[in-house]
Amino acid sequence: MPNQTPSASVTLRVVPRDQHPISRKDISPNALRVLYRLREGGHQAFLVGGAVRDLMVGGHPKDYDVATSATPDEVKHLFRNCRLIGRRFRLAHVVFGREIIEVATFRANVDDGSGDRQVHDDGRLLRDNVYGTIEDDAVRRDFTANALYYTVDDFSVHDYVGGFEDVQNRILKLIGDPETRYHEDPVRMLRVVRFAAKLGFSIDDATAAPIPALAPLLGDAAPARLFEECLKLFLSGYAEESFLGLERFGLLAALFPESASALKANRSGALRRVVIEGLRGTDARVRADEPVSPAFLFALLLWPAYCRALIALQAQGVQAVEAQRRAADRVTVHQLTTIALPRRFSLPMQEIWLLQSRLSSTQSGQRQRKRVMRTLAHPRFRAAFDFLALRQVASDEHTDDIAFWRDAQNDPDNAIALHPEPESEGDDTAAAPRRRRRRRRPAASAE
């Protein structure tokens, strides 16, 4: 693979204030402070990337990035509230309470021999700290829609690679040769799906074409980075569309291989219905500004893999409770090789799965008062109950269980009386009271 990003045609187009919709009143005051301070310090400074793109389409950016001619050390000199981060990609973070304005120096797209740009033999970019001009910086960005620069000099937008027109046409297009750019950073394939889902953009044919064949390259990405990318994919309010995009481009099998395999083997489509319905619920909660737990999200995404592993273990004769525990452990360990799921999420995820059997009336004795109270007190009960209710889209098998546990949360004793445990099918003795065994008295001492 080549050791630098392929050249792309660069033609500056300056879009004056009266020809674009971006207004300073819609921009974070802290981002504006950074832009003006850099400008007063004698440096070029532009709002860039997703913030400009989102403002163009009427969105409300959550993050603001600034591109500048100032080096990280020069940025730090201008701002007392600045910290420098990163080795692979040196950045300055200017901190305003809970808001962080990320400031990056213009990057060049060539190797100057200093060792500050390193590319792996397979094309992956390992280090990128060679500084250049704004033209260089525009070319090395990933998508044309992310290469728009807004300046407070005259409030115009600077476009070097045709991004302004692409945003107007709502199309997502990579800068340079797509195959080379994906080799350079495989996570860009996930970003294609995420941005298309979030913005409602179509994907340029040349940008989309190489993805299915190159999807396995995600195996070379850092598991911790893929975890963060999954949170962006599924916890931004566009989880369902993101999932459908991953399926369409063969990326689901690269991220969740065992779940993808289980979904493919599940001819009834029941498992997929659960996943889709769960993602719709996640989107609704995000849009309502309600909390969503990554543990619940991954319990949902890995549920098909867990079900398949559980069935396989039970077919081998493993006892039910042991099979559940082993299936949960197996799926978690296998998934960790791809996505670095922290224990603070993986353990609650497993508890959500394992509680499903305790919420089910198919196991006798689950509605005894002591067991009911113990289950209600479990810290993961509410998440497990919500998961049980979600499973109803695949089957009405647990309708009575859902009704029982819904009532039990308000009045356990009344719920037990209203929803007696069903008798086992074909067992005439199920309703018969158990005979009490008489305890034997200890034998008299021979002494």
Question: To which residue do tokens 């195959």 refer?
Answer: 179
Amino acid, single-letter form, for residue 345: F
Determine whether 166 is an active site residue. Answer: no
Q: Is 220 a catalytic residue?
A: no
Asked whether the CA dihedral 327, 329, 333, 339 is positive or negative, the reply is: positive
Annotated active-site residue in 65, 128, 137, 283: 65
Catalytic residue among 54, 128, 137, 142: 142
Q: Are strands 82-85 and 13-15 parallel, antiparallel or unpaired?
A: unpaired
Q: Where are the alpha helices (DSSP H) in 13-63?
A: 29-40, 50-56
Measured distance CA(268)–CA(290) in Å, rounded: 32
Give the three-class secondary structure for 5.
coil
- Distances, alpha carbon 295 to alpha carbons 227, 326, 380, 390, in Å: 12, 18, 10, 15
Q: Which residues contact 402 (CB under 8 A, 6 or more apart)?
A: 385, 388, 389, 392
Rounded to whole angstroms, the Cα distance separating 415 from 411 reads 6
User: Which tokens in the block code for residue 287?
Assistant: 């849009």
**CA of residue 301 relative to chain centroid, distance:** 10
Query: What burial letters (b/e) apply to 384-413, b meaning 16+ CB within 10 Å?
Result: bbebbbbbbebeeebeebbebbebbeeebe
Q: How far is CA 43 from CA 6, 28, 36, 75, 158, in A?
A: 28, 20, 10, 10, 16
Pairing of strands 157-159, 148-150: antiparallel
Amino acid (1-letter code) at residue 281:
G
Measured in whole angstroms, how far is the alpha carbon of residue 105 from the centre of its chain? Answer: 28
Closest CA relative to residue 40, chosen from 9, 77, 88: 77
Burial of 180 (0-12, 13-18, 19+ CB in 10 A): middle
Which residues neighbour 445 within 8 Å (Cβ) at sequence distance 6 or greater? none
Is 177 considered catalytic here? no
70, 78 contact by CB (below 8 A): yes
Q: How far apart are alpha carbons 207 and 226 in whole angstroms?
A: 21
End-to-end CA distance of the chain: 94
Half-sphere exposure of 382 toward its Cβ, with a 13 Å CA cutoff? 5
Catalytic site positions: 63, 65, 142
